[in-house]
Amino acid sequence: MNQLFPEFIEEYLNDLTFKGRKESTIKRYIYDLNDFSYWLQKHRATTNDINWKSITKEELNLFFVHLIEDRKYNVKTVRRIHSVLRQLASYRSYLGSSELHPIKEIEAPELTFQILHESEWISAQERSILLETASSTVGLSDQQKETFPFYKERNEFIIRLFLNYGLNLHEVHELSMNHIKFERNQIEINQEKNSRIITLQESDKKLAYHYFKKIPEPVRPRYYSDDPFFVAFDFKRKTFHWSYTFDQPKRMSMIAIQKMLRQEVSRSNLRKGISAQTLRNTFILSSLLETHSPEDLIKSIGYTTPLSVKRYLSTVDSLSKIQIEQLTLSGA
């Protein structure tokens, strides 16, 4: 058994064997559970044993987003993995334990796609408000205003990567210095199945560079290295984090990026529920409305097949005149 497995998973697999499950089924369970274990350790950036009772709904959602957006798994495969995790949670619940309990709150993806609901993108006006607020001190306490200048450009650039270039949460989180080409206004996006180059607008390149130069030199990411580009901020010490474990700046976690976005949405007085995916959806719909072809969009967004954009094409076809106007009004 792989060393990443806690003892209770071995007990569960032994129970499945005792109940007469096929060997091929057991192997599939081992593969899926092992895959999730590896992802979880990478996500938490730890080599220590993880208490599976501490796994959150947010982390599970991130895992499924990773399977769908980064690995390009089809819906049936994702539904199967969801079922494996859910059955393990039910087994532990039956024994009075709570490992993976949040999986019960997460529905498996539908086999057929539906068009996007209006709450799954933002209007051009909301976009302008969000970007304007992100660059201001509106709604900040005196204590927050003291540290805000350090990471203001970092936060704004992250939001612009979602809105202006359609990057997903995982891609933003994984950006390292060897992906950033300031001299060419470019960012390299490396995925398992599809890599691409993003050309930044001059203003966005300057924003990224200003953030980079604000990081104190002793903890600043090093050029052409695998140091993370987006560095976590230590609010108590009022400086950027350094990871002594990896001997490099500490990478800003996906959870921290999501929390930052929620805070920016909140102080912009925008509706709850706006996420990185909401901003990415906005980019995709806006691109299609600007007569970008599905083929061009597939290349720029990192999808691998025309089926990937089918939901967005159907959504665009269903938009009312008012919705189109709201999406395409000149933004920031």
Q: Could you please report the per-residue DSSP string of 196-254?
A: EEEEPPHHHHHHHHHHHHHS-GGGSPPTTSS-BSSB-EETTTTEE-EETTTTEEPBPPH
Say whether pLDDT at 306 is over 70. Answer: no
CATH of domain 118-328: 1.10.443.10
pLDDT given for residue 307 in this prediction:
59
Interatomic CA distance for residues 288 and 320, integer angstroms: 15
> With 80 as the cut, is the pLDDT of residue 304 above it?
no
| Confidence category of residue 198, pLDDT binned at 50, 70, 90 | very high
Q: Give the pLDDT band of residue 297 (cuts 50, 70, 90).
A: confident
Domain 7-105 shares a fold with domain 118-328: no
E-only strand ranges, the chain = 180-181, 186-189, 196-199, 233-234, 239-240, 242-243, 248-249
Provide the 8-state DSSP code for 269.
T
Number of residues that this document lists for the chain: 332
Percent of the chain with pLDDT over 90: 69
Task: Name the DSSP letter for residue 180.
Answer: E
Give the mean pLDDT of the chain.
Answer: 90
Kindly tell me if the per-residue pLDDT of 180 is higher than 90: yes
pLDDT of residue 161: 98
User: Average pLDDT of 145-160?
Assistant: 97
pLDDT for residue 193 is more than 70: no
pLDDT at 331 over 60: no
The answer to whether 70 and 36 are in contact (CB under 8 A) is no
Q: Per-residue pLDDT tens for 212-252?
A: 999 999 999 999 999 999 999 999 999 999 999 999 999 99
Gap between the Cα atoms of 261 and 140, Å rounded? 14
Closest by CA to 299, choosing from 291, 308, 290, is 308
pLDDT of residue 61: 86
16-51 pLDDT, tens digit each: 999 999 898 999 999 999 999 999 988 888 878 889
pLDDT of residue 195: 80
- Say which DSSP state 5 is in: S
pLDDT at 332: 42
Q: Per-residue pLDDT for 125 more than 60?
A: yes
CATH for the 7-105 domain, from 3.10.20, 2.60.40, 3.40.50, 1.10.150: 1.10.150
Q: How do the domains of the chain map onto residue ranges?
A: 7-105, 118-328
Which pairs from 240-243 meet CB under 8 Å and 24+ separation? 240/150, 240/215, 240/216, 242/218, 243/45
DSSP 153: H
276 CB-near residues (< 8 Å, 6+ apart): 162, 168, 169, 172, 257, 258, 261
